[in-house]
Every structure is written in C-alpha cells, then in structure tokens.
Structure 1
C-alpha cells in the first residue's frame, strides 16, 4: 500500500511515517492541505491519513476538493475534534473513517490493515513475473512459495515493484523507504538488496543492479 500522510506537526508526521514504513507501507508526507490536494491528484495512493487542522487549507476542505474532482481515494481523518457533530462533518465532507486524537497506534494500524484488505484505491496484489506482493497482508510469494521478508525488506520490494521496469535511484530508495533526504554514505540499501536476493533464491536476478544509479525490479528475460 502507498499512503499519504498529511500532517503539519513535524513530530507526529515523523512518528506516523516511521511506524507505517516499519509495517511495510510506502509513505509520503506533506505538511499542508494545498500540497496534499495536488499530490492526491497527481499520484496513485491507496490511503490518505489526513489531519483536520492544517495551515491555510484545512482537512475538511481537502476532502471536499478531492471528492468534487472525482477522486475516490480512501481518507482516514485524524483530529482532536471528537464531538459527534465534528465527526459527522468530517464524514459528510468525504472522509471514509475518523480517528480522534490522541489515538492508539495499534488501532490506527488496524484500521490501515482493514482498509488494505478491502483493496480500495488500487489492486491489493501486485505481480511482477513470478513475484506476487499482497500489500494488505504484507506477504510476498514467488511461484506461490512464501518469502519471509522483514518489514523494511517488504517496503523496499514493494516500492521497486510499484516502479517495476524503471531504474530507481539509490537516493530515491533512501528517501521513500528509509525517509532519509540525504545519502549517509552507508551501504544500507545494498545490504537489504543482498538479503532479499538470498531469500529470492533462484529468482535473485529479479532485482537488477544498475551500477552507479540504483536498482530495477522486473521479470527475468527469456
């Protein structure tokens, strides 16, 4: 699943992004409603986690705007406004679910998993050659055989699968999977790719190294 978190509180946004990434999701974060509207319209998300109180354009306005434009991406609204009238207003504006702050992380993750199982916003399973990724259950199989991946390994494979056939730069992987905006000079990506290839066994060549650039996931050439 690819999730957009819209939250202007940097500490909370970082916490949510880290928690969701560790669960194997691909996460983008934006701090305001105007940016969120553009992002939702231009990129395919499976879920938007949206704060109500945002600078300039609030969460209700974001909901109304994207719904008026025909976008049906599922929206989970987070807000300190927990009274019934506010919950009704959020749902009427186009939100699909509602969670009051302060919230329990376990409950939020359970709601995200439930949304993934419904497969709304896109196909629940991504297939690249013999590889199948169930984004809702965060399960990977090769020719029907389960591959045990760590949450970070799954997030890395899921991102490469979403971009299948394209060479994904190492810096992009660091930004999207590790949330690192600069190259720390470590070999963390290479280590994870090596571990994934070992688990892929005979299908290790599914992940191609493009020297000096990054990695590409694609079906094996005949």
Structure 2
C-alpha cells in the first residue's frame, strides 16, 4: 500500500445565494486549481467555515436574511482568521469602512469578471515564504511567513491587506510612495474610480503599530502619498 499523501488544492469557501453566479465562480476556481466549497446562506456558510477551515472565504455582501458584513464579523468573533473577501455591488466610503470594521481583508466589485476575480484569489493564496524571512525597520519587525508584525516584542495581528500594505512600505523605507504606486503594488488589480481606501488602511495600520508612547513610523506626505521613516 502506498504511503504517499496527496496534497489537496487550496479550498475556497464561496457564500452566495445566486445559483448562476455560484456556478460560474465554482467553475473558474476549479479550472484554476482550487477546491471550491459552496454555501447558499449565512448559517451554512458559518458552519462550513468552522468545520473546513478554508484557505480563503468569499462572501456576497447581500445575502438573504443576513448581510455578508454581519457574517464576516461573526467569523472573526469565533476566531476564524482566514482571509475574507466581500463581493459588493457598490463602492462607497461607508461600505469600505464597514468591511474593514467587520474584519474583511478586501472586497471585489460586481459585475463579476473572471480574470480580475482570479487575480485577486491568487494574491491571497500565493505560496508562503521561508519561515525565517523578515523585514525590519527600527523596532518594527514583519514576519513574512506568519504575516504578523512585532514592535518592541509586542505581537500585532494583521489582516491580509494590512500585511501587504505594511510589507510594501517596509520594502521601500524612507522612500516616498505615491498613491498610484501603492494601489498598483498592494492591490495588484484594476482599481476602479477615485477611492480613499489607502487612507482607510493606513489609519488602521497606525492604530495597530503605533501607540501614544511610540514614534510614528508611517508619515503622510500631503498631496503625494506615504513614507516609512522615523520622525
């Protein structure tokens, strides 16, 4: 009898009440080498997320009976740390802030486009780096394998997008990065319309890595962008 263990493809839980969209997304995920798991309502989605521990969770914001944002908040309350992407039909400041506050890592705007969607999925399911690889700036350390930060020995848990943003800043210390550079390198896919999404994520990063007793590291360069440097 063979002792070889077959490695499973990364599982993606898709919580969507529209059967047509659910079918299309499932086909796209399978063709791209992922293992889709479907749920049509929030309760089933929550149960499957807890039972299966998928590598990525995608939730439609407009679920019947309960919003995707409420479901995302429940997942985080129960300790689920898998990346969560919300599908949204509109892009407003209120929606983006609500996504972040619920614990979502990102969002994808409808209408559904296979190429853009799969590009986003690949960002979150890319292979892990070496367990020992780190970035350092002053007393701030970013562990690339665990996707967490440490400052003065204090562990800081980051969402996937917070990690990617901080990583980009730490890869270019003391270099002023424009908003366009950040959008292109951190989001990595077509970003439609004028958005303050960077400002929202910068604010959340500052709340996590900077307290009243520590130096501010992420500096705003008005009219240009941001820079990682000590004052």
What is the TM-score normalised by the length of structure 2? 0.50
Contact 1:7 1:54 in 2 (8 A): yes
Extract unaligned runs of 5+ from structure 2: 1-9, 130-231
Provide the C-alpha distance between the structure 2 equivalents of 1:98 and 1:118, rounded to a whole number of angstroms: 21
Q: How many residues align?
A: 120
Q: Residue 92 of structure 1: CA displacement?
A: 1.4
- Quote the residue 2:75 is aligned against: 66
Q: Does structure 1 residue 48 correspond to structure 2 residue 57?
A: yes
> CA offsets per residue over residues 95-139 of structure 1, 9 Å max, x none?
11111111322111011111111649xxxxxxxxxxxxxxxxxxx
- Quote the residue 2:96 is aligned against: 87
Provide the C-alpha distance between the structure 1 equivalents of 2:124 and 2:12, rounded to a whole number of angstroms: 11
Provide the C-alpha distance between the structure 1 equivalents of 2:106 and 2:128, rounded to a whole number of angstroms: 15
Cα distance change on mapping 1:104 and 1:114 into 2, 3 Å? same
SS at match of 2:126: helix
- Quote the residue 2:17 is aligned against: 8
**What do you get for the CA RMSD once the two structures are aligned?**
1.5
Q: Does structure 1 residue 101 correspond to structure 2 residue 110?
A: yes
- Quote the residue 1:114 is aligned against: 123
Provide the C-alpha distance between the structure 2 equivalents of 1:116 and 1:2, rounded to a whole number of angstroms: 10
Extract unaligned runs of 5+ from structure 1: 121-222
> CA offsets per residue over residues 195-215 of structure 1, 9 Å max, x none?
xxxxxxxxxxxxxxxxxxxxx
Contact 1:81 1:87 in 2 (8 A): no
User: Structure with the greater relative contact order (CA < 8 A, sep ≥ 6): 1 or 2?
Assistant: 1
SS at match of 1:24: coil
Contact 1:34 1:57 in 2 (8 A): no
In the alignment, which of 17, 36, 40 is matched to residue 27 of structure 1? 36
Provide the C-alpha distance between the structure 1 equivalents of 2:97 and 2:13, rounded to a whole number of angstroms: 23
Contact 1:50 1:76 in 2 (8 A): yes
Consecutive aligned runs of 4 or more in structure 1 exceeding 3 Å deviation: none
